[in-house]
Amino acid sequence: MDRQNLILIGFMGAGKTSVGEQLAAHRHRTLIDTDRMIEDITGRTVAEIFQQQGEAAFRRLEGMVLKELAAKAQGEIVSVGGGLPLWEDNKQLLKALGKVIYLRVRPETVIRRLQGDRTRPLLQGNDVEEKVERLMTFRGPVYESLADCVIDADEKTVMQIGQQIEREMKRDEEELL
């Protein structure tokens, strides 16, 4: 069932939230962001949840909010945390939720954009380059396998990416007519 939700997936720093906000504004909607949902529910930041309860607890919360969305989201723009699409249950739910757009970026783009970032627990400490490379090697094919549409986002502005997605959506709608 296609409920015309648009879901942005991709690695940390790919621009899911910025692009999602742009798309949502264009449609007079508010972006639904799974990290923000979790922070609102728990009253804690993602970093605090990782630190105080561990990654597994955060992943359970992700599964919970995704189920909630799958039960009721319609016509929404949704951006999901970079790790959410990796779990089997989540994959099914994402596919059922709507059109999945993968914002693909190269490791060097992530490293440049997230330099000095303290909000992503998985990219703290030493060897950030190696962490990004390792996670991306594993995650890239998963994101690709889920995507209805892949957008190379390294050299593009948020506006350009938003417009490209709008064009894709329009093309899809025309094909349905």
Cα angle 83, 22, 27 (rounded to 5 degrees) comes to 110
Cα angle 75, 76, 77 (rounded to 5 degrees) comes to 135
Nearer to ligand S3P, 15 or 98 (CB): 15
Q: Which of 105, 79, 86, 80 is nearest to 146 (CA)?
A: 86
- Single-letter residue type at 32: I
Nearer to ligand S3P, 99 or 131 (CB): 131
Q: Output the smallest distance, CB 16 to ligand S3P, in A.
A: 6
Distance of CA 1 to the CA centre of its chain: 21
How far, CA to CA in Å, does 153 sit from each of 9, 40, 162, 164? 12, 29, 10, 10
Nearer to ligand S3P, 9 or 73 (CB): 9
Q: Which of 83, 113, 133, 149 binds ligand S3P (CB under 6 A)?
A: 83
Among positions 92-151, residues that touch ligand S3P (CB under 6 A) are: 120-122
The first and second tokens of residue 176, run together, are 């349905």
Q: Is 35 in the site for ligand S3P (CB under 6 A)?
A: yes
Q: Which of 15, 81, 107, 162 binds ligand S3P (CB under 6 A)?
A: 81
| Count of residues that bind ligand S3P according to CB under 6 A | 10
Q: Output the smallest distance, CB 12 to ligand S3P, in A.
A: 4
Q: Are 84 and 90 in contact (CB under 8 A)?
A: yes
Separation between Cα atoms, residue 77 and residue 54, nearest integer Å: 28
The first and second tokens of residue 149, run together, are 């549409």
Nearer to ligand S3P, 46 or 161 (CB): 46
Nearer to ligand S3P, 63 or 83 (CB): 83
Q: Output the smallest distance, CB 59 to ligand S3P, in A.
A: 9
Residues that bind ligand S3P (CB under 6 A): 12, 16, 35, 46, 81-83, 120-122
